[in-house]
Structure 1
């Protein structure tokens, strides 16, 4: 690794993002830290995204474009990891915007603390605020506060309710993790022999346990460095069928077991597991009322419910009560969150 100017690989999975891709790529090209390898993984786009990627690559030698048949975001991320040469790895979604000092600040935070990963804060934005966001992303970042977390996997599982983070103050907020890979900077070796599971919606949930368990130290940067575009019709907010719910159940169950085996109570995965099973049951009942229930959906739902019950029984009574309480708080928060997202324009 170059001590003075390490190479940072920025991986951007691209799929049918022609409306927002230019703004995303401009935010990466305009980073204050310029020693970048920008990997655009075109995952079988059917709009003009492929051409946009090639145009940008012609204009900037730091960009490498890989065109591949559509395999989903996990396959695109894996291709990026396989292609990357950087000392550090960053991800960016193809419709989001990075603050112009994102990489510089996250890299400095790792250098100052010796952390395995640095993470910044993000802000949710609507399509109508893209122009305003571009101005904010070009602004000066100030002098962010750094907080070191020595228990990444525990913090990921324990600190996830927004209301409790607000009550807990700056320290609690700094300990908040989610499954997203953007607005982070990783030491490259964290990804050695570690790749996303393809063919699933919840590939990021499956990755969280194995990835965070590899980290001894994470540094939080108290600064908005990433702007997350919210679209109500995206897969995250609109995909609701039995296969989607089952995949979320399976991912939560996998991470639940992984975490519990390491002596950590899987508070977050308890919520994800129970919420997904609940949604799956509601979907089955709705299909039954319409006379459109498929036997395989019913069988899958029953199996998922049994898996949930078996895993929860592995917890002590006290831990079950704690998990259930946090899950109830999170469910209320999600009702508010979903309304907020669908109001974003």
Structure 2
């Protein structure tokens, strides 16, 4: 069931999976509750935190009726996100990580874009920041972003997802006036606003990494158009302890390979060259190879994934294979530069 405020604002459900985030969670929650858009259902899903995160959630819920807290035993981020989706009543759905900061106008501007364009999803730009910038970013986000200078609406998001991901080509496309950056998707679900119907019948896989990558293709294939706002509305904390930047084991890379392979097949069915998904598989295999060289017990699993990647690439024609290989080389070089930048961010 969907609801609207007396002012006619559709209800927006914001889902925040939470695990051991006591140091940064109040900054995240303050940025959500301070939104210029008021009609919110804020779903805090405590995934069995061992610190004081659960108590923080309950304290905030006692002070703001828009907050609903779900406590569950630790089952991973996919299970937490699904619990939020199952409880969501909003016409629109958004996600936030428990240590990030939303711009004050995040929901307002994304909602306006959905309503005025008829898109299935709206998205905006984001920035990364280190712990030393936490106070500054919090203050800037509370001020609120300006209106976007443009809103770009594009169709066939599944094709955009697979083809627009190398930063070099995005910069070149923008230089040529093609608004290529507007068609770029990262692999996260934050800084987006979805029509709730997009998630009907779609849930994150539970008990695995790369749960957001695994559902990406299924979401984009059911969308007709997406609206992009060229304004920063989300602030992504670069924390050494996050899953994204922590040391990764074989299971992490195997799950990323599996997600890439699933999206590869889906794109192929739709006649779309799966360049991004090939890069996802290839980079996961590179990491698996290093770990398998140190532990022969992993060699069999690595071999299966490697054979699967070879078979999938062989299923493409020569031009599509060449495009996959080219984009892999370019993106791999960009990734090395990105990793050095993030490592130096404090």
- Which TM bucket (shorter chain)? over 0.9
Tell me the residue number matched to 2:214.
Answer: 206
Tell me the residue number matched to 2:306.
Answer: 305
Counterpart-to-counterpart distance in 1, 2:343 and 2:74? 28
| Equivalent residue in structure 2 for 1:266, among 249, 269, 274 | 274
Tell me the residue number matched to 2:22.
Answer: 18
Tell me the residue number matched to 1:74.
Answer: 78
Counterpart-to-counterpart distance in 2, 1:311 and 1:82? 35
Superposed CA offset, 1:286-328 (max 9, x none): x1xxxxx242x11100000000000000111111111111111
Counterpart-to-counterpart distance in 2, 1:142 and 1:278? 42
Residue 153 (str. 1) matches residue 154 (str. 2): no
Counterpart-to-counterpart distance in 1, 2:152 and 2:55? 42
Tell me the residue number matched to 1:41.
Answer: 45
Counterpart-to-counterpart distance in 2, 1:294 and 1:326? 31
Root-mean-square deviation (CA), in Å?
1.1
| Equivalent residue in structure 1 for 2:119, among 96, 115, 118 | 115
Counterpart-to-counterpart distance in 2, 1:139 and 1:325? 42
Counterpart-to-counterpart distance in 2, 1:254 and 1:239? 24
Counterpart-to-counterpart distance in 2, 1:10 and 1:245? 29
SS at structure 2 position matched to 1:252: helix
- Alignment: residue pair count: 338
Counterpart-to-counterpart distance in 2, 1:340 and 1:232? 13
Superposed CA offset, 1:21-58 (max 9, x none): 00000000000000000000000000000000000000
Residue 142 of structure 1 deviates from its aligned partner by 2.0
Counterpart-to-counterpart distance in 2, 1:188 and 1:33? 17
SS at structure 2 position matched to 1:235: coil
Counterpart-to-counterpart distance in 2, 1:18 and 1:179? 25
Tell me the TM-score normalized by structure 2.
0.96
Counterpart-to-counterpart distance in 2, 1:197 and 1:239? 22
Name structure 1 gaps, 5 residues minimum: 288-292
Contact in 1 for aligned 2:103/2:144 (Cα 8 Å): no
Superposed CA offset, 1:170-195 (max 9, x none): 61000101221000000001111110
Counterpart-to-counterpart distance in 2, 1:22 and 1:142? 25
Counterpart-to-counterpart distance in 1, 2:25 and 2:83? 19
Tell me the residue number matched to 1:85.
Answer: 89
Tell me the residue number matched to 1:163.
Answer: 168
Superposed CA offset, 1:231-290 (max 9, x none): 2332212232221111111111111111111111111001011111111112211x1xxx
Counterpart-to-counterpart distance in 2, 1:299 and 1:155? 34
Tell me the residue number matched to 2:322.
Answer: 321
Name structure 2 gaps, 5 residues minimum: none
SS at structure 1 position matched to 2:331: helix
Tell me the residue number matched to 1:290.
Answer: none
SS at structure 1 position matched to 2:70: strand
Counterpart-to-counterpart distance in 1, 2:241 and 2:72? 25
